[in-house]
Every structure is written in C-alpha cells, then in structure tokens.
Amino acid sequence: MRRSLTMAAVMAATVLSATATAPASASGYVYDCPAGNWCIYDSSNDVVRKSEGNWSGAQSFRALVNNGNRDPGRDHIQVVWYTGSTRHSTCLHYYYDGSKEHFSLDDEVPNGGGWVQSVTWRGEC
C-alpha cells in the first residue's frame, strides 16, 4: 500500500505541475500534506488530520506520513497506533525526495485500517 500511496502522490504531483506551479518544499511533495506537517489519510486517501505539532486523541486511519522538515532533534515522529486491541509504537523519519527512510505507516496497516492514539515530534529513531 505504501507504494500505491507514493504512486498516487507522484501522479498527483505530475498533474499539479502541469496545471499550476506549487511552492517548493524542503521536505518534498506529499499529496495534500504541507511541508512541516504529519498527515493521516483515510481509506480513500483523503487527509483526515494534519498538524505541525504533537497530538493525542483517537483517529481512524489507513496511512500516516511524516512530511516534516529537516530539523535535527525534532524531525521524526513517534506514532502510537492500534489494530484492534494490539498496540504499536513506530518512529517515522521525515520524508524527502529520494527518501529511503521509513517515513510512512502504510504497509503495516491492514486493509481494515487502524486508529492513531498519539503523534509526538522527537529526535532520531
């Protein structure tokens, strides 16, 4: 699924670049997720929550991306999330063009989705 979300972002970027000039992002282009934010997507790939700050609550999701900017000591996010009653805690690197780091929760999330309990900015994983 990560590949399909990334491909959707690439295709959307291609369409957008043909119709409008978007501002450059230090972190690269992630579909509907401004630079410096982390974003939560639903099963339709619509953004249901985005933020530059820490957050806690309960949000169902299908994918989550860290589109943070490079900022040593504060450019990774710790995500606490659940599938059913199983708790997961995952650290995500910030996204950048050509990124080989783990910057999204996508393949790990089953088709039925899961829910996010908290997102906290932090240093290196």
Average pLDDT for 111-115: 81
At 111, the pLDDT band (50, 70, 90 cuts) reads confident
pLDDT for residue 2 is more than 90? no
Residue 6 has pLDDT above 60, yes or no: no
pLDDT tens, residue by residue, 29-72: 788 999 999 999 998 889 999 999 999 999 999 889 999 999 98
Domain boundaries, the chain: 2-122
Instruction: Give residue 40's Cα distance to chain centre.
Output: 6
Q: What is the pLDDT of residues 70-92, one digit of tens each?
A: 998 899 999 999 988 999 999 99
Name which of 77, 82, 57 is nearest 67 in CA terms: 77
Residue carrying the six token digits 């490079």: 70
Task: Look at residue 100 in the predicted model and tell me its pLDDT.
Answer: 61
pLDDT score, position 102: 72
Do 122 and 94 contact (CB within 8 A), yes or no? no
